[in-house]
Amino acid sequence: MAPAQLVEAEQIQKTLRIEVELRAVRDGLEFLFASSPIVIYTCKPYGDYAATFVGQNVTSQLGYAPEEFTKDSKFWVNHLHPEDRQRVLDSLSSLINKGHHFTEYRLQHKDGTYRRIKDEMKLIRDGSGNPLEVIGYRIDDTRRELMDGGRRKYGLSVWKRAEHLEDAVEYRTRQLIESEARYRTLFENIPERIFTKDRKSSYVSCNDHIARDLNISPDQICGKTDYDFYPRELADSYRAVDKRVMSSGKAEEIEEKYVACGHEFIVDTIRTPLRDSGGNVSGVLGIFRDITERKKMEARLAAEEMKQRLLKAELEATEQLAGMVGHDLRNPLQAIVGAVGVLKRDLVIRRDEKAKKMIHLIENSVEYSDKIVYDLLDYSRELQLELTNTNVKSLLKDTFALLKIPDNINVADLTPNELVINIDPARIKRVFLNLIRNAIDAMPNGGKLTITSQKLDEKVTIGFVDTGIGMTKEVLGRLWTPLFTTKAKGVGLGLPICKRMVEAHGGQVTVASTLGEGTTFTITLPLKTTN
Ligand code: ADP
Ligand code: MG
């Protein structure tokens, strides 16, 4: 629809509303007059003063139907009492002069009797001041009892009443316009998108938000349908929901797709049926808001939760397996160690060099297997911390005592001498050991390992910085998975054990690594751990 037409449509809409209000006022007036003894009329301001309108209640006043007055231009004059006729017609000249006139006369009832009528009239002039019409009322004065005080009640006050009603209509109109403006402001400014459609699902109006999405101005929406703006499939589904809401007469809230500026959104829409003054559904009002981000977030959270659950299940299974394998391997290993011991004694006596070499190999392998079993058991065991105040530097020194650092690796421990934390020293020593071993493994051609420790608030961070081979993204992503290793003789439990132990202390392990440059593992521990 063209803007001019829309302005017109809006005007019509406003006028219709005002008309509804006026109708109520008119109904009130009609009721007032119909139930009062006052008969309202209008007539020509000249000649025989032919009636142009006579109120319905004239029938109860004089027995005639209103049409009898309006069809016969002489009806009123002819029913005036012959003795009053000339006087009344003469006196009417003052109506033209003063614009207002009051007179009394006898008028014949349909039953032939004469009634005493009081008649008050007012002259209506056109724009240029020429007499246009007379408007007046007649009251039957025969019913004295009504007239006592009744004149005050219904007589002159009728004009006042009409004026009052006029004021009331004007006031209500102003109120309507104001509330319309308020509603407009609301309509334009709330963050939701709002539209109204008629019974056929054609748009009647929309707010700026929707107009902006559609790249039109709000007044251009009127008369358009969803098929003008959205893919057929979407328009079909919008229309289906509109229809459902209009036929059920019940509001509905649904999540649906929405396309704006080439992007797809998920929106939450509430559709409410609109009703006309007779209570019949005349269209639908829709309010919707973008919930795309919320939906995405929900999906992400659900996926993350699922991942965590799977991971936890996997970890539990691995823990169980590790415990079982570790336990089962322990005994045969003990047996091998025992048997090798016996063989060794015999072989030493026989001085068989080749056999001795083989025995040495078995011993090394057993030792290595034992280490794996130890790791497996450590990993699966329930952790019960034995906390004690521990000097970090001393603990690092103890750890290094267990290791043989290759000559081409330079170690610098920058931990301050006085740093003391409340930890389980045996457990944290294992963590240090694993991290230092990994760093050494990562520097096959030599390099530098720097240990930096510092206190920050109620926490202590200890960093293990190596200048080794670093890690690929892929390795970084799988680091904490039990049994993940890139080493030929690796087990892949070192880091998962570190993580478990540090977390048991209420701390955490983080890693940063650059391929070919080096890796930094940082453990953060609370100064005081509560068991
Ligand atoms: P393992 O040492 O038995 O392989 P870990 O759990 O200790 O098992 O380590 C898992 C993997 O993480 C290693 O195989 C290695 O690929 C990688 N990794 C660990 N520490 C480092 C490091 N300091 N530099 C480079 N890679 C490392
Ligand atoms: Mg390791």
Nearest CA to ligand 1 atom 11: 485
* Predicted pLDDT of residue 145: 40
Q: What is the residue whose two structure tokens read 């540090």?
A: 502
Bridge partners (DSSP) listed for residue 119: 103, 138
Best residue for ligand 1 mutational test, from 409, 495, 514, 520 (most atoms within 8 Å of Cβ): 495
Range with lowest mean pLDDT among 55-59, 146-150, 262-266, 438-442? 146-150
**Is the CB–ligand 1 distance for residue 439 below 6 Å?**
yes
Nearest CA to ligand 1 atom 12: 479
CB neighbour list of residue 200: distance below 8 Å, 6 or more residues apart: none
**Is the CB–ligand 1 distance for residue 372 below 6 Å?**
no
**Is the CB–ligand 1 distance for residue 511 below 6 Å?**
no
Q: What is the mean pLDDT of residues 499-507?
A: 92
CA dist., res. 26 & res. 24, Å (int): 5
Q: Which ligand is nearest to the CA of 442?
A: 1
Delimit the domains of the chain by residue range: 3-189, 193-290, 296-380, 388-526
Range with lowest mean pLDDT among 24-38, 160-174, 381-395, 471-485? 24-38
Per-residue pLDDT tens digits for 203-258: 998 888 899 999 999 889 999 999 999 999 999 999 999 999 999 999 999 999 99
The Å distance, Cα 458 to ligand 1 centre, comes to: 29
Sign of the torsion formed by the C-alpha atoms of 26, 27, 30 and 36: negative
CATH number for region 388-526: 3.30.565.10
What percent of the chain stands above pLDDT 90? 45
CA dist., res. 520 & res. 501, Å (int): 18
What tokens were used for 307? Answer: 């991942």
- In this structure, the strands spanning 263-275 and 252-260 are antiparallel
Does 15 score more than 90 pLDDT?
A: no
Which strands, in side-by-side order, build the sheet including 447-456?
409-413, 447-456, 459-466, 518-526, 508-514
CATH number for region 296-380: 1.10.287
Residue pair 485/492 in contact (Cβ under 8 Å)? The answer is yes
Determine the residue type at 214.
Answer: L
The Å distance, Cα 141 to ligand 1 centre, comes to: 117
Nearest CA to ligand 1 atom 1: 492
* Predicted pLDDT of residue 334: 84
Q: What is the mean pLDDT of residues 169-195?
A: 70
The per-residue pLDDT of the chain, averaged, comes to: 84
Beta carbons within 10 angstroms of residue 325's beta carbon? 15
Asked, colleague to colleague, whether 3-189 and 193-290 share their fold, the answer is yes
Range with lowest mean pLDDT among 3-7, 149-153, 165-169, 510-514? 149-153
Residue 33 — very low, low, confident or very high, per pLDDT cuts 50/70/90?
low
Q: Which ligand is nearest to the CA of 485?
A: 1
pTM, two decimal places: 0.46
Highest-pLDDT range among 36-45, 92-101, 469-478:
469-478
Bridge partners (DSSP) listed for residue 409: 447
* Predicted pLDDT of residue 78: 94
CATH class, range 3-189: alpha beta
CATH class, range 193-290: alpha beta
Q: Which ligand is nearest to the CA of 480?
A: 1
Residue 181 — very low, low, confident or very high, per pLDDT cuts 50/70/90?
low
The Å distance, Cα 453 to ligand 1 centre, comes to: 21
Nearest CA to ligand 1 atom 21: 438
CA dist., res. 392 & res. 398, Å (int): 10
**Is the CB–ligand 1 distance for residue 465 below 6 Å?**
no
Per-residue pLDDT tens digits for 247-280: 999 999 999 999 988 889 999 998 989 888 788 9
